[in-house]
Structure 1
């Protein structure tokens, strides 16, 4: 029993350090994504000013992708801080509060989507070992206790036409560019009838 408790405490210490490293890396990981988002938004504005609506919609996908990841980083940061601050609870996973279980499941789900944060991969392995197969299965599927917003931000459809139109219209408004709604409808029909897709 003493050996088991010692092993668990060592695991807890390890996962805490990994999450602290992830928190440090988050600040670094945000910078290039903020820069790319800014560049992409500028590109969308320029394409709209030149009348290239279809290309602007394609470019909007990158804006959505970067924005989604940045918002995911905010949720992941919250979860990392929560687990670090309440790390002692991880020594008795069966007695963890719902908030800690949610944070652990969120980290486990996010790990496979966040190459920017390699520490999460290692933390996930420890958390899976601690919490067992039931929570691991839920986390893997992104269901149950896992925050639906995090799931959607990391794995949602970034090519959704309505979402792209919303982003393009917002950027058009910010740049005082008039975009006719009719153009969007006609463009969508053209895409559907001609099977025009965005480049891979």
Structure 2
């Protein structure tokens, strides 16, 4: 692990290579998520047609989860490309521009959420050494200059009832089905779940 503590251009080359590998893996990681999103949308449409609104809402949650990850992948891809483009600045991180710092912070934050992209964890270790503990801590928490959209897509509430209703409504419209959410509220109350839907 000793070489992690030397700020050399060798580390910069390693980060570039790791990010290029992550970009290749992103293309592969998108496919199953696109498939799961499509299947979940289809399932939700069938459940709505059968009148199973509560189960359709659960499928909508899966659609949201896959969609959020796909959108996060787009942001991560942009971060990787920016950091590769501005890699020379990594040898003097204190002098690096806003784009390079934001991209580095995005990679550091995304690393813990993306098991599909193990290269990000290795890149994060090198970037942490280059940018320092304070920068790394803020980035890992999703504060500072981390893109707020990336934070929300990876760590936001996927069970938000209003969002699930919106997606369910879109699926219903695509399938020419009318949806009445008032029936759902009655079901929740009858089940004794006094908390009502998450908002």
CA shift in 2, pair 1:92/1:157, >3 Å: same
TM-score (norm 2): 0.91
Where does residue 87 of structure 2 map in the other structure? 87
Instruction: Tell me the distance in 2 between the aligned counterparts of 1:172 and 1:59.
Output: 12
SS at match of 1:193: coil
Structure 2 gaps, min length 5: 1-5
1:146-183 deviation per Cα after TM superposition (whole angstroms, max 9, x unaligned): 11110010001111111100110010001111112423
Structure 1 stretches lacking a partner, 5+ long: 1-5
The alignment's TM-score, normalised by the length of structure 1, stands at 0.91
Runs of 4+ in 1 over 2 A off after TM superposition: 181-197
Instruction: Give the whole-Å Cα distance in 2 for the aligned partners of 1:180 and 1:148.
Output: 33
Cα distance change of structure 1 residues 172 and 193 upon mapping to structure 2, 3 Å threshold: same
Q: C-alpha separation between the residues in 2 aligned to 1:191 and 1:23?
A: 47
Q: Which moved more, 1:122-131 or 1:173-182?
A: 173-182
Name the structure 2 match of 1:96: 96
Counterparts in 2 of 1:65 and 1:11: CA distance versus 1, 3 Å? same
Decide whether aligned partners of structure 1 residues 29 and 98 sit closer, same or farther in structure 2, where only a CA change above 3 A counts: same
Alignment RMSD (CA, Å): 1.8
Is the Cα–Cα contact under 8 Å of residues 188 and 194 in structure 2 kept in the other structure? no
Aligned to 1:169: 169
